Amino acid sequence: MELAVENLQKDYKKKRALDGFSCRIQEGVTILLGPNGAGKSTFMNILADLTPRSGGCVSLDGEDIFSMGKKYRKRLGYLPQSPEFYPFFTGRDILKYFARLKELEKDSYDIDALLKSVHLTSAADRKCGGYSGGMKRRLGIAVAMLGSPDILIMDEPTAGLDPRERLLFKRNIKRMSENRIIIMATHIISDAEDIASRILLLKEGKNIGEGTIDELTQAVISESGQEQVDLDDVYMHWFGEELEMDDVLV
Amino acid sequence: MFLYEIKKYTGNKAFWLLALLGLVLKAVVSWNALTVRADFPKEIYRDYMDYLEGEPTEEKSDWILAEQARLWEVIGLHDTYEKMYQNGEMTLDEYIEKNEEYTYARAQQSAFDAVFEKYTYFQETDKRVEYFYDLEILQFFKASGGDFVLICFICFAVAMTRELENPADTKKLIRSMPLGRWPFNRCKLTGALLVGALGSLAGSFIDIGIYGYRYAFPYMNMPLNSIARISGIAYEVPVWVMFVLIPVIRLAHGLFITALVFLLAMLIQRFVLTIFAGVVIFSIPPLLADRIPTGLARFFVPNMTVNSWIAPYVLANLAVIPMVYLVCRRLSEKEGFAIPFL
Ligand SMILES: Nc1ncnc2c1ncn2[C@@H]1O[C@H](COP(=O)(O)OP(=O)(O)OP(=O)(O)O)[C@@H](O)[C@H]1O
Ligand SMILES: [Mg+2]
């Protein structure tokens, strides 16, 4: 399986959010890194066929995803950046309802196992209007994973999760990453270090670098001459240059 | 999927509050609307009609003409008596007696005008007609027109449920699913139509219930054509048929409103704006109905007479529904706002 992105462009009224973005995404966990407003969410929305693009194309194994329509969506799991649910539905209702919307066969998914995998078993029968931010996101993760789709697109799935839940999430992702394309945006470098097969660096709507963690650190080592380089340094190398001490509130 | 759509209404406490409020308001409005107000003494009219009840005959016509003459005479003599009293040709007691006769005759005259109107109409029509006391039935027809409470209920209920899915990320989440576009909206529209239908039927039941409670159901088998004020009736049917037909006409109209409000909600995607637009679009035409009796506005006003237009009217209302389904289908594939400037 391979998602090929060619020259993708997205223009909002005043803002060019994606500017000739190209990349190839294979099976495994691909992490999008980039500062706020870099275009990560925009990119993922286009990959999930939710936002019309201004130019370029995306194909899955050679087939244009935008003309695949429902066939593509049947293979897709998506988590938006700030999921909201019907407040008077219970967590279990939500999963059952979305299983219908995903057109899943009754015996092809196990809601209890899913709830367990995001630690929501005890809250499953409570109305999700009363869920905390982290619980909502975990429910969103469960919804995305529902029907174990081939392609998982998750926008900041770990934001707001407590350390224990984050660990659990990472374990789940690692277990799922075989034979699947998993694309995640995050601002938490340690998440990327733990689970990324590949990393994509985004800046102002452009792809400014991609590769495994090793490849990226090696590139920074050879460029800057530093000896010890980790992913934090890579990030600061690409995105940290404007940060001055003057910016800090005293 | 459809059951979850219904649950989006029934699971919502605000919806039940809205429904309760709607029912109470509707009951109050109907109670008032079904209070018979006439610009003549109802009891006198009732006495006349009780006396005349049944098919028109020669004797009844003669009697009506005679009564007319008598009333005119009593009223006409008033001036004479007044002069006689002023000239001292009549005692005070006599004058008071004559004056009372005169006042009563005036009252009778005003009720008799309605009787006479009926008599004239009966003379002209070739349809089967009968005399009977019809003020309450007439009131029921008047009360069954544009229904502001129902319009508000539908606008709020539909917009409220759509609002749950208006946040951008919720919309995206749903749209990312295989059935999250047209099948999803199709279920939503069907769910909204069901709620609109139940609302419309509930309104009709309240009307009929209040009518029955206050007046029982007399004269239900009389020919509907006897009621001159709703003339233009094309079919020879008894009165009770209208008590069945009116809920049907209103149901069609309720479905028509619901479908269009749903479309508005889908286009506007804003809670307050949807309600505002819906209420304005659907309640202005009924308010202006007397001034714009024909044309497009007629569509938005429930047409409550069984004239030959009624079948096309109901069918036109219903025909809008599949059209809304088609438009929603087109809109479902589009992302975000169908109206760009919002
Ligand atoms: N609906 C929109 N209308 C106009 N501009 C938008 C819209 N959505 C995003 N943008 C702009 O596009 C750019 C990219 O936004 P995007 O949400 O993709 O960034 P991001 O990388 O996800 O940021 P974050 O880390 O804050 O989530 C931003 O400059 C943003 O202002
Ligand atoms: Mg984002």
Cα-to-centroid distance, B172 and ligand 2 (Å): 13
Is A36 touching ligand 1 by the criterion CB < 6 Å? yes
pLDDT at B301: 63
What band does B336 get if pLDDT is binned at 50, 70 and 90? low
Is A37 touching ligand 1 by the criterion CB < 6 Å? yes
Does residue B110 sit within a domain? yes
CB contact under 8 A, B170 and A85: yes
| Domain limits, chain A | 1-75+150-165+175-250, 83-148
pLDDT surpasses 80 at A194: yes
The residue among B91, B124, B157 that closes a domain is B124
Q: Which is more confident, B299 or A2?
A: A2
CA distance A56 to A49: 13
Neighbours of A62 (CB within 10 A): 7
Does residue B157 sit within a domain? yes
pLDDT surpasses 70 at A95: yes
Which residues are in the CB-under-5-Å shell of ion ligand 2? A 40-41, 81
What b/e readout covers A189-220, taking b as 16+ CB neighbours within 10 angstroms? bebbebbbebbbbbbebbbebbeebeebbeeb
List, in sequence order, every residue forming a beta bridge with A29; answer none if it has no partner.
Answer: A182
| B4-43 residue pLDDT tens | 999 999 999 999 999 999 999 999 999 998 898 888 888 9
pLDDT surpasses 70 at B56: yes
One domain for residues B177 and B246? yes
- For A:107-136, CB contacts with B below 8 A are none
- The CATH number of the structural domain formed by A1-75+150-165+175-250 is 3.40.50.300
Give A-chain residues touching B161 at CB under 8 angstroms.
Answer: none
Residue A2 dihedral angles phi and psi, to the nearest 5°: -150, 130
CB contact under 8 A, A83 and B169: yes
What band does B287 get if pLDDT is binned at 50, 70 and 90? confident
Place of tokens 């429910």: A139
One domain for residues B316 and B184? yes
pLDDT, average across residues B72-87: 86
Cα-to-centroid distance, A206 and ligand 2 (Å): 15
pLDDT surpasses 80 at A247: no
Cα-to-centroid distance, B215 and ligand 2 (Å): 66
pLDDT surpasses 60 at B303: no
Cα-to-centroid distance, A156 and ligand 2 (Å): 7
Neighbours of B170 (CB within 10 A): 17
Give B-chain residues touching A80 at CB under 8 angstroms.
Answer: 168-170, 172-173
Interface check for A137 against chain B (CB to CB < 8 A): the answer is: no
Domain hosting B119: range is: 42-124
pLDDT at A228: 84
pLDDT at B334: 74
CB contact under 8 A, B170 and A84: yes
pLDDT at B296: 55
List, in sequence order, every residue forming a beta bridge with A185; answer none if it has no partner.
Answer: A32, A155
Does residue B133 sit within a domain? no
CB contact under 8 A, B172 and A52: no
Above pLDDT 70, what percent of chain B?
89
Alpha helices for chain B (secondary structure H) = 2-10, 13-33, 42-52, 58-86, 92-124, 135-143, 148-163, 168-175, 182-215, 239-268, 271-288, 310-332
Does residue B342 sit within a domain? no
CB-defined contacts A:B, below 8 A: 71
Interface check for B307 against chain A (CB to CB < 8 A): the answer is: no
What band does B335 get if pLDDT is binned at 50, 70 and 90? low
Residue of B nearest to A80 (CA): B169
Does residue B130 sit within a domain? no
Lowest mean pLDDT among B5-14, B132-141, B292-301, B314-323: B292-301
pLDDT at A232: 87
Report the largest interatomic distance among the alpha carbons of chain A, rounded to a whole angstrom: 59
Neighbours of B75 (CB within 10 A): 16
Interface check for B83 against chain A (CB to CB < 8 A): the answer is: no
Is A15 touching ligand 1 by the criterion CB < 6 Å? yes
Does residue B159 sit within a domain? yes
CB B128 within 8 A of CB B225: yes
One domain for residues B250 and B106? no
Q: Which residue in A76, A88, A98 is closest to B11 by CB distance? A: A88
pLDDT surpasses 80 at B286: no
Does residue B340 sit within a domain? no
Rounded to the nearest integer, the mean pLDDT of chain B is 87
What band does B91 get if pLDDT is binned at 50, 70 and 90? confident
CB B285 within 8 A of CB B300: yes
Tell me the pairing of strands A151-155 and A55-60: unpaired
Most confident of A82-91, B223-232, B278-287: A82-91
Nearest CA to ligand 1 atom 30: A37
Nearest CA of chain B to the CA of A179: how many Å?
A: 21
Nearest CA of chain B to the CA of A210: how many Å?
A: 27
| A121-180 residue pLDDT tens | 999 999 999 999 999 999 999 999 999 999 999 999 999 999 999 999 999 999 988 899
Total number of domains constituting chain B: 2
